[in-house]
Structure 1
Amino acid sequence: MALRRRALDEVGLFDSSLFMYYEDTELSWRLRRAGWRIEHAPTAGTRHQHAASSGTGTEFFQVHNIRNRLVVSLAQAPWPVVLRALLRTLWHLVAGPRRGRTARALLQALRMVPSALATRRRTDRSARIPRRDVARWMVAD
């Protein structure tokens, strides 16, 4: 990822409360809502090893991934997306193979709700692009 210094000065850096996973998504939401373009360079060579730091099967990855998906949705996404993320998590809490990890992630996310809502309000105050316009770029999961 290549970012303009001016863009980061305007919207801020990565949200350190996320630590790992979804921090790039959250920053992209803030950049796009502020009116900055985000482009894909298909000829650029990249190499990314998903979850190389923690491994996808670890509790660390799974808890942070679930928690941050919820927190980023709440902070940046339209309400239908937030609801879908919450319902997906609740389904995994009831029927998923790793209910304990999902419960830990949900409890951690609940503790982060006030901060996520503050981020949502702060982003809304300075946004030039409506949330729904940014949401059109989302990929269904």
Structure 2
Amino acid sequence: MYIIKTSANNYKIRIRIPDRLKNVFNKCEINKSLKTKSYKDAIIKSKPIIKLYRKIELLSDTGICDLSELSELVKKFNDRFNLSNPSTTVMNNKKIKTHKECLEEFKQYYLDESVVTSKRVSVVNFSLLCGKVTQVKT
């Protein structure tokens, strides 16, 4: 699934990183030569890489780890498997919003005059019920 044969008949591992993890890995994919021409050896060499990658993916999906803990795991992942750390990219400059900031943006959008009043009131009331938004003017 992740193992690819190169034009030089060597095997490498290639894992496409999903959008939700790109800001943690700071890259779009993981490419690592397995330095073997044997498919059997390639499978054996790729197992620890895939296992740790899937662990990071699972921790991200379940929300058990926060962003700083995930970043630390990715750093260890890169160091352990001698994967190059990418240079600073646009993703590094992208500010990650807190839940509160997202809810505030959400509230501001629906308080906009162009949004239908009934929809606007429903969304704001829902936000109030969740206890996340305060001082709402409708």
TM-score, normalised with respect to structure 2: 0.28
Q: Looking at CA atoms only, which structure, 1 or 2, has the larger radius of gyration? A: 2
Q: With CA pairs under 8 Å and 6+ residues apart, which has the higher RCO, 1 or 2? A: 1
Task: State the TM-score, normalizing by the size of structure 1.
Answer: 0.28
Q: Which has the higher strand share?
A: 2
- Structure richer in helix, relative to its length: 1
